[in-house]
């Protein structure tokens, strides 16, 4: 049976990043399709409230966030590496990925959903507005904002084209790494749905060639698994011993904590802290449906606070 279980849906750009990471490492994995909007009743027993996509399950260990998933894939299958060691380009990669997913993220997200305002279900817009804490934009508001989003997008795509101007094959290095995949997933989204936003790439031939090179990596070997079977696998397994690492002194006292994303969808996940380094944290949860699980997060972009007494 395949050990790696990805909870995802096909049109998720962040999930595409991990599907390609599987391809890069030549891995076999099981796909569990989750709904793109709440409720997600078969995911919550595993994550304890984290709703974002994708989530990686390995037995009773649950990895939230693509950065944490990539760290675990590198630990289990080190070559080719997704994340370079410190001194091997980690600074450049971290800056590129964070820019792609926190800055370029917004014009790509707004432009693609805006261009597809009539093609996506109304429930999708309601869900996302609620998740981000703003009112649902009307079709007229969305249409009025599109020229601005397209302008922002083209300006930043010019930077990507410039980065590739010296004929490098990937952002840095001989093979794509997580930073390439982070940038790629935003541009993949431009071509997603019916490709109505894909013309934004027309003036950027080097970027289009780079997209083709990354897409050729493929998704590894995918098989399908039902959500109920994934829950059964978690129930039957025990969490692995948490990985070792340099402990984070600020988090050293063990106890019950809340982990929350810094951006949106801030539903807290609560549990006993079982592992904390400067880069990763893990909490233990005892869930009525699946029993004991460890839920893992990266430190980047997540806040850990003591649970209210």
Ligand X SMILES: N[C@@H](CCC(=O)N[C@@H](CS)C(=O)NCC(=O)O)C(=O)O
Contact residues for ligand X (CB under 6 A)?
A: 12-14, 36, 51-53, 65-67, 301
- 220 versus 301: smaller Cβ distance to ligand X: 301
Instruction: Report the relative pairing of strands 221-224 and 61-64 from DSSP bridges.
Output: unpaired
Q: In the complex with ligand X, which residue's Cβ is closer, 47 or 164?
A: 47
Token output for 160: 């990507």
For residues 124 and 253, what is the distance between their CA atoms, to the nearest angstrom?
A: 41
Q: Which is nearer to ligand X, 4 or 164 (CB)?
A: 4
Contact (CB, 8 A) for 136 and 125 = yes
> Least separation, in Å, of the C-beta of 165 and ligand X?
28
Q: Is 15 helix (H, G, I), strand (E, B) or coil?
A: helix
By C-beta, is 210 or 302 nearer to ligand X?
Answer: 302
Min dist. Cβ of residue 67 to ligand X (A): 6
Shortest spacing between CB 62 and ligand X, in angstroms? 13
Residue number with CB closer to ligand X (164 or 177): 177
Q: How far apart are CA 61 and CA 69, in angstroms?
A: 11
Distance CA 120, CA 11 (A): 11
Q: How many CB atoms lie within 10 A of CB 203?
A: 12
Q: How far is the CB of 183 from ligand X (least distance, A)?
A: 13
Shortest distance, CB of residue 13 to ligand X, whole angstroms?
A: 5
Report the SS3 class of residue 241: coil
């Amino acid at each position: 049976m395949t050990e790696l279980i990805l909870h995802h849906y096909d049109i998720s750009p962040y999930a595409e990043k991990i599907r390609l990471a599987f391809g890069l490492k030549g891995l076999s994995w099981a796909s569990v399709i989750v709904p793109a909007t709440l409720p997600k009743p078969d995911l919550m027993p595993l994550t304890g409230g984290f709703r974002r996509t994708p989530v990686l399950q390995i037995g009773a260990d649950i990895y939230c966030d693509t950065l944490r998933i990539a760290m675990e894939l590198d630990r289990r299958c080190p070559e080719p590496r997704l994340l370079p060691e410190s001194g091997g380009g980690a600074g450049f990669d971290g800056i590129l990925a964070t820019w792609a997913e926190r800055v370029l993220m917004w014009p790509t997200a707004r432009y693609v959903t805006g261009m597809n305002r009539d093609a996506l279900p109304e429930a999708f817009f309601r869900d996302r507005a609620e998740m981000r804490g703003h009112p649902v934009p009307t079709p007229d508001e969305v249409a009025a904002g599109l020229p601005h989003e397209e302008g922002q997008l083209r300006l930043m795509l010019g930077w990507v084209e410039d980065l590739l101007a010296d004929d490098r094959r990937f952002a840095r290095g001989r093979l794509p790494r997580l930073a390439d995949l982070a940038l790629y997933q935003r541009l993949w989204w431009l071509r997603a749905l019916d490709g109505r936003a894909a013309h934004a790439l027309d003036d950027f031939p080097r970027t289009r060639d780079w997209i083709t090179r990354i897409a050729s990596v493929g998704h590894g070997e995918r098989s399908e698994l039902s959500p109920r079977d994934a829950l059964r696998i978690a129930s039957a397994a025990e969490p692995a011993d948490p990985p070792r690492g340099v402990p984070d002194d600020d988090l050293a006292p063990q106890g019950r904590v809340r982990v929350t994303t810094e951006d949106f969808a801030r539903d807290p996940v609560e549990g006993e802290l079982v592992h904390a380094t400067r880069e990763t944290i893990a909490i233990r949860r005892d869930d009525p449906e699946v029993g004991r699980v460890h839920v893992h997060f990266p430190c980047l972009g997540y806040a850990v606070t003591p649970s209210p007494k």
